[in-house]
Amino acid sequence: MCLAGHDTNLANLAGVLDVDWHDSRQPDDYPPGGALVFDLWREHGRSVVKVSSVMPTLNALRHADFGPDAALVQHTLALPPCHGTTSCPLDAVSAWLATRLDARYIEHDVPSLSSWPDASR
């Protein structure tokens, strides 16, 4: 799953996840077109989570050219419950997030995700 959002959405998620993807080559940690990518994998019979940040370079933004390999800066992030590794078991991530989120403020009536464009409309 890829989560593209406004810079404040990405900053809020960085705070919840306690991650930093600053890159000295990029003056803006939240440029237009930046995203967090959440990958769910099966490794050794268990579900693991990997989180990456993807940001277009300023040059790619200026020229609207995202084709070259150097147009995007990507970092795989280490989640705190897995002590510096970039692959974290889903159950460890879930338990850790439960300590960081107050369930009273989670809206459970969020619409389910659907393909875009939604063919049912």
Domains of the chain: 2-100 (3.40.50.1240)
pLDDT tens string 64-79: 888 877 788 888 999 9
CB neighbour class for 55 (10 Å; exposed up to 12, middle 13-18, buried from 19): buried
Secondary structure letter of residue 7 according to DSSP: H
Q: Which tokens is 101 given?
A: 């989120």
> Is 52 within 8 Å of 35 (Cβ atoms)?
no
Residue 50's pLDDT is: 94
Closest CA to 3 of 42, 53, 66: 53
The count of C-alpha atoms lying within 13 angstroms of the C-alpha of 103, restricted to the half-sphere facing its C-beta, is 4
Q: pTM to 2 decimals?
A: 0.75
